[in-house]
């Protein structure tokens, strides 16, 4: 099914509790029309999911069909949010029926009343009756299409395009995002060819976000994680998604991993920042 083109949508909902509007969104690539009379659509949400729990309570949601230039929104809403995080803080939006957030500039928006829901395998399948629909494709907002030609999930495709276009939201440029970027490039090009591509990509992204960057590019740290990602790829199922890869390589998310091999003095030295330095505590695993 990864070979079947499909629109990328962000499903949104909200709950008014104690005078505060709690808003949530999640990227979804499984979305289709089910019935014309009445107008019913379906979508799938991975379980477990806080979004599913919210929709159980609200019984209302919106399907925002992302436009081609909204790749970074697809990345943003595919990244798990913290409980207290306002996912819409940097996302232009308006409030629709039941104060559900509607993403500005989307190719189309469908506001829905929950019709039914089933749990099938590892997903919750939601059916929604469309109460209101607006299509904006005629204004030049063509829909973003997911087609897994060389990547493994909608998260990877949207993430890599946003990174390369430097449209990836800065708050989404986390340590895990660095790992995802390295994983994609190393799988596609191999460690040796991927290294300069990764280096140039980070420099380009940092330049676009220079007012927000605090530490800047570090050659030794970057090369260290590229080597560890490449080593983990060799030991992992070649068909694994990034999420599956990371699940069996959680050590890569440990920010102290670097310091098992490098002293703080060496990592903090100007020479290590500019040029790759071999570890001074113990050799890297092979």
The encoded tokens of residue 253 equal 């998310």
The per-residue pLDDT for range 82-107, each reduced to its tens digit, is 777 789 988 999 999 999 999 999 99
Per residue, what are the HEC states of 102-139?
A: EECCCCEEEEEEEEEEEEECCEEEEEEEEEEEEECHHH
Residue 78 has pLDDT above 80, yes or no: yes
Of 41-55, 147-161, 176-190, 267-281, minimum mean pLDDT range: 147-161
Say what the pTM is.
0.60
| Residue 8 pLDDT grade (very low, low, confident, very high; cuts 50, 70, 90) | confident
pLDDT digits (tens, 9 = 90+) for 115-157: 999 999 888 999 999 999 988 755 556 777 665 443 334 567 7
What digits encode the pLDDT tens for the residues 213-251?
888 999 999 999 999 999 999 999 888 888 889 989 999
Residue of 245, 79, 232, 80 lying closest to 162 (CA atoms): 79
Beta carbons of 137 and 57 less than 8 angstroms apart? no
CA pair distance 90, 227, nearest whole angstrom? 34
Strand 108-120 and strand 60-65: the pairing is antiparallel
Cα distance between residue 117 and residue 42, in whole Å: 9
pLDDT confidence of residue 241: 83
Residue 127 has a pLDDT of: 96
Percent of the chain whose predicted confidence (pLDDT) is above 70: 92
DSSP 279: -
d(CA 63, CA 43): 9
Position 253 pLDDT exceeds 70: yes
Per-residue tokens: 103: 């993403």
Residue in this structure with the two tokens 């993403």, named with its chain if needed: 103
What per-residue confidence (pLDDT) applies to 148? 47
Q: Name the band, by pLDDT with cuts 50, 70 and 90, for residue 257.
A: very high
Q: Name which of 47-56, 100-109, 143-152, 194-203 the model is least confident about.
A: 143-152
Would you state the pLDDT for residue 286? Answer: 83
Asked whether the beta carbons of 42 and 127 are under 8 A apart, the reply is: yes
């Amino acid at each position: 099914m990864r070979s079947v083109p499909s629109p990328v949508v962000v499903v949104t909902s909200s709950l008014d509790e104690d005078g505060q509007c709690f808003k949530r969104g999640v990227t979804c690539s499984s979305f289709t029309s089910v019935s014309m009379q009445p107008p019913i659509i379906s979508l799938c949400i991975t379980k477990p999911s806080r979004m599913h729990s919210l929709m159980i309570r609200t019984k209302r949601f919106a399907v925002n069909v992302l436009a081609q230039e909204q790749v970074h929104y697809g990345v943003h809403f595919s990244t798990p949010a913290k409980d207290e995080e306002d996912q819409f803080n940097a996302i232009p939006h308006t409030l629709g029926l039941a104060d559900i957030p509607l993403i500005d500039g989307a190719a189309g928006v469908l506001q829905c009343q929950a019709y039914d829901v089933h749990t099938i395998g590892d997903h919750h399948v939601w059916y929604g009756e469309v109460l209101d629909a607006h299509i904006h494709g005629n204004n030049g907002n063509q829909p973003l299409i997911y087609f897994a030609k060389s990547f493994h999930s909608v998260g990877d495709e949207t993430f890599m395009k946003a990174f390369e276009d430097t449209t990836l939201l800065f708050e989404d440029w986390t340590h895990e995002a660095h790992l995802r970027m390295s994983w994609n490039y190393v799988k596609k090009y191999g460690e040796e060819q991927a290294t300069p591509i990764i280096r140039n990509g980070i420099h380009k992204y940092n330049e676009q976000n220079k007012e927000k960057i605090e530490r800047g590019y570090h050659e030794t740290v970057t090369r260290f994680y590229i080597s560890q990602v490449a080593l983990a790829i060799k030991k992992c199922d070649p068909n694994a998604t990034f999420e599956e890869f990371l699940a069996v390589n959680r050590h890569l998310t440990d920010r102290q991993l670097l310091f098992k091999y490098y002293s703080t003095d060496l990592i903090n030295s100007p020479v290590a920042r500019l040029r790759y330095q071999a570890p001074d505590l113990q050799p890297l695993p092979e």
